[in-house]
Amino acid sequence: MSEFVTLAALAGEEEICTRCPLYRNATQAVPGEGPRGARVMLVGEQPGDVEDLSGRPFVGPAGRLLDKALAKVHLPREECFVTNAVKHFKFEPRGKRRLHKKPDAGEIDACRWWLEQERGLVGPGLIVAMGVTAIRGVLGRSEPVSRLRGRLIDLDEKAKFLATIHPSFLLRLQEEEDKRREWTRFLGDLEIAAEWTRAGDGLVSNG
Would you tell me which residues interact with ligand URA (CB under 6 A)?
44-48, 51, 57-58, 60, 62-63, 84, 168
**Cα–Cα distance, 63 to 118 (Å, whole number):** 20
CB of 200 to ligand URA, least distance (A): 29
Element (H, E) at 43: strand 40-44
Torsion angles phi and psi, residue 145, rounded to 5: -55, -40
CA atoms within 13 A on the CB side of 15: 9
Closer CB to ligand URA, 45 or 204, in the complex: 45
Closer CB to ligand URA, 183 or 203, in the complex: 183
Closer CB to ligand URA, 125 or 137, in the complex: 137
**Cα–Cα distance, 42 to 145 (Å, whole number):** 15
Closer CB to ligand URA, 83 or 197, in the complex: 83
Closer CB to ligand URA, 56 or 158, in the complex: 56
CB of 91 to ligand URA, least distance (A): 12
CB of 44 to ligand URA, least distance (A): 3
CB of 1 to ligand URA, least distance (A): 26
CB proximity list for 60: less than 8 A, separation 6 or greater: 48, 49, 50, 51
CB of 55 to ligand URA, least distance (A): 11
**Cα–Cα distance, 49 to 52 (Å, whole number):** 5
DSSP state of 149: B
Shortest Cβ contact with ligand URA: which residue? 44
